[in-house]
A and B are shown apart, each in its own frame.
Chain A
Amino acid sequence: MLLFVSNVRRLGHTLHTDGRCWIIGLAIETEKLSKIYTHDANGQPVGLIDLSLVVEEGQIFGLLGPNGSGKTTTLKLLLGLIFPTAGRGQVFGQPLGSNTYKQRIGFLPEGPYFYEHLNGVELLQFYGSLFGMGGSALSARIEELLKLVGMWDRRFIRVRDYSRGMRQRIGVAQALINDPDLLFLDELTSGLDPIGVVDMHHLLTDLRDMGKTLFVCSHLLKDMEPLCDRVIILNRGKECRTGTVDELLRVADQVRLVLSNWSDELKTRLATSAADCEVADKQLICHFQDQSQALAAATIAVEAGAVIEDLGARRRTLEEVFIEAVGGEEPCDQSSE
């Protein structure tokens, strides 16, 4: 409860009490949510352990981790398909598994499976009818979605004859059938060709611009880096890193200077004050421990005729953060947080 209240204060949202309480403005909130399946040979629990997360409405939230890290378990818990062994969670202020919030969500599982005997239109009619949709409104929605995911010309093909990419596309359409406020997407770009991947990225940003909340599970870090507002990295069921993408990628107190038109002499001079210098794509990239060192180096570089391409906080790639977080023998290298 303390966590819930502190989040209300932090986010400036309203706490309502009418016997129960919920938080307006939060799409998902979990508090020490756990699902222990078994214990390994060392007596360590296997599953999801003490996951506490907050997803604000309108965010793209990335749940990242290697295979078996607990991503799908988290999704299943949030959807009420499995039950927690400890902790609790809420989606739109409703307890996990409640039918009330399911009116407002969409779900795309990894490698989605559907009734094989249905074609694209019939499949969407089936899922739409589960929301009580019907008639011309449903038909119009189906046409809109099939065109959106590029399946309109193939709408009468039966699911059994679908390629993996087509299943993924129709899976996205069924997840959007009810115009959900919150979308759970498990490995969204799995099975898609490069054009399909780009299409889906555009779709994600369009959905975010429309105010939708997106909860995306993926191990494709390069895809997630430009899309996510906030991420959690899981490893062996435990939370390793959490924060905004900017927070995770920034290296504390280090400044990066990127130069073009540089000389070997300049490189030698800068290397004396820089933490490290490297050459990539004909550019000289130097990292400095503090801002004053970086500014002094920039002045020297300009005087030497070099061109400053970038000067700012040092950033890593999400892949580097991920490898650092999950690379160790221990489930999580908590010391580096």
Chain B
Amino acid sequence: MRPIFRVARATFHEAWRRRFLNGILIFAILIIGSSWAFAYLQPGAELQMVIDIGLGSIRFFGMLIAVFLGTRLVPDEIELRTIHTILAKPVSRAQFLFGKYLGGVGTLAANMLLMGAAFYVVFAIKAPQFLAEKPEDAMIVAAMYSNIAKAILLTFFEVFLILGIAVVAATLFSWVLSVIFTFVFYFVGHMSDFFQQLSDPERGASKIAQIVMGALYRILPHFEIFDIREAILMGTYTPWSVMFKTIGEGVAYLVVVLLIGYLVFNEREV
């Protein structure tokens, strides 16, 4: 286990020196901070505007960081040949790959925490102003605090899954192709309900459509389940059972993805 954490630690420290990723983080925090100003464009729904922009930014920029970080983690080691001195030590390919992924998770988590903290600051400033105008919504706002934390937690697991897909894609394809693949996977993964509908025989799906669309529905990750912004905006409570089920699905999918990555990387020449 020790080599995994050593590789992860080195990856974490090295990732913070990537200016492009730092640029995305700074831009994300600026957007989240400016949601406070954007909120005035929609009088009466300022708090909803802050939540929508804030959580949406965390998801979007978290996804961007996951894709651009994940697709560079292993290829950079191969191109710069730093991998040679590491794999010549008693470090297995599985330990190396998982260490790189774990280092990416640490980097991503730190980025997400910073974005989440920026969002909470804006929300904490805006919420009392909203309550002063609508004191009857105190219960809804109170539920929002915990729901926002849950939403950010789900986003963590969503971007960790995207990171895993990006890392594995980069072991299979060139950098450009792996970036495109991960983006397509992400966006198509948001359409999994659509594939389910297209495979529904009650909606007139043919046999072939049932098989093909049904398979796509089962194979693709269901990214939309990580998005609970609507529930937050409606003020409805998101139970922990739903949270655990969603996280469980994400982790199970991630394990399969990393296993595929290991099988591919184990045969890859460096």
Contact = CB atoms under 8 A, between A and B. Distances in A.
Contact of A114 (B17, B85, B91): B85
B174 interface: no
Nearest to A175: B85
Interface in A160-206: 171, 174, 178, 184
Q: In the complex, which of the residues A113, A115, A130 has the most CB atoms of chain B within 10 Å of its own CB atom?
A: A130
Contacts of A76: 84, 269
A103 interface: yes
A130 B82 contact: no
A126 B90 contact: no
A127 B90 contact: no
Given A113-B82, A129-B2, 19 more contacts: A79-B87, A80-B87, A81-B84, A81-B269, A82-B270, A83-B267, A102-B88, A102-B89, A109-B84, A113-B80, A113-B85, A114-B85, A117-B14, A126-B6, A127-B89, A129-B6, A130-B2, A130-B3, A131-B90
Contacts of B91: 99, 102, 130
A112 B13 contact: no
A126 B2 CA distance: 11
Contacts, number: 68
14 contacts: A76-B84, A82-B270, A99-B92, A102-B88, A109-B85, A113-B80, A113-B81, A113-B82, A113-B85, A117-B14, A118-B10, A129-B6, A130-B2, A171-B85
Interface in A74-88: 76, 79-83
Interface residues of A, number: 29
Nearest to B80: A113
B89 to A, nearest CB: 4
Contacts of B270: 81-82
B109 interface: no
A103 B267 CA distance: 22
A240 interface: no
Contact of A130 (B6, B13, B14, B17): B6
Contacts of B89: 102, 127, 130-131, 178
Interface string A89-119: 0000000000110110101010011110110
Q: In the complex, which of the residues B14, B17, B87, B90 has the most CB atoms of chain A within 10 Å of its own CB atom?
A: B90
A171 B88 CA distance: 13
A132 interface: yes
Contacts of B10: 115, 118, 126
A230 B269 CA distance: 29
A134 to B, nearest CB: 9
Contacts of A107: 84-85, 88
A129 B82 CA distance: 16
A138 B82 CA distance: 21
A157 B267 CA distance: 37
B235 to A, nearest CB: 46
B14 A81 contact: no
Contacts of A81: 84, 87-88, 269-270
Contacts of B88: 79, 81, 102, 105, 107, 184
Interface of B: 2-3, 6, 10, 13-14, 17, 80-82, 84-92, 267, 269-270
Nearest to A81: B270
A132 B91 CA distance: 11
Interface in A280-295: none
Nearest to B87: A81
Contacts of A118: 10
Contacts of A82: 269-270
A103 B91 CA distance: 9
Contacts of A103: 90
A294 B126 CA distance: 104
Q: Which 7 A-B pairs have the closest CB atoms?
A: A107-B88, A82-B269, A130-B89, A102-B90, A113-B81, A99-B90, A129-B6
Contacts of A127: 85, 89
Contacts of B82: 113-115
B90 A130 contact: yes
A191 to B, nearest CB: 15
Given A99-B90, A103-B90, A107-B88, A132 B80 contact: no
A83 B17 CA distance: 33
A79 B270 CA distance: 11
Contacts of A126: 6, 10
A184 B270 CA distance: 17
A117 B87 contact: no
B107 to A, nearest CB: 13
